[in-house]
Amino acid sequence: MKKKKILVTGSSGLIGSEVCEFFWKQGFEVHGLDNNQRAVFFGPQGDTRWNQKRLQDTLTGFVHHELDIRDRQGVLNLAVELKPDVVVHAAAQPSHDRAAAIPFDDFDTNAVGTLNMLEAVRQACPESAFIYTSTNKVYGDRPNTIPLVELETRWEYADPQYQKGIPEDFPIDQSKHSLFGASKVAADVMVQEYGRYFQMPTCCLRGGCLTGPNHSGVELHGFLSYLVKCNVEQREYKVFGYKGKQVRDNIHAEDVARFMYAFAQAPRGGEVYNLGGGKANSCSIWEAFQLAEKYSGLSQKYVYLDQNRIGDHICYYSDLSKMRTHYPGWDITISLDRIVEQIVQSWRLRKVDPTR
pLDDT tens digits in sequence order for the chain, 356 residues long:
789 999 999 999 989 999 999 999 999 999 999 998 877 777 777 788 888 999 999 999 999 999 999 999 999 999 999 999 999 999 999 887 788 899 999 999 999 999 999 999 999 999 999 999 999 999 999 999 999 999 999 999 999 999 999 999 999 999 999 899 999 999 999 999 999 999 999 999 999 899 998 777 778 677 899 999 999 999 999 999 999 999 999 999 999 999 999 999 999 999 999 999 999 999 999 999 999 999 999 999 999 999 988 778 999 999 999 999 999 999 999 999 999 999 999 999 877 665 55
Give CA–CA dist 15/90, Å, rounded.
Answer: 7
**CATH class entry, domain 5-352:** alpha beta
- What are the structural domain ranges in the chain? 5-352
Cβ-count burial of 115 within 10 angstroms (0-12 exposed, 13-18 middle, 19+ buried)?
middle
Closest-CA residue to 66 (of 47, 49, 41): 49
Extended strands (E) in 4-75: 5-9, 29-33, 63-65
Q: Rounded to the nearest 5°, which phi and psi values hold at 130?
A: -115, 115
Give CA–CA dist 39/35, Å, rounded.
Answer: 9
Give CA–CA dist 291/204, Å, rounded.
Answer: 31
Angle between helices 336-352 and 223-232 (to 10 degrees): 50
In tens, the pLDDT along 44-70 reads 777 888 889 999 999 999 999 999 999
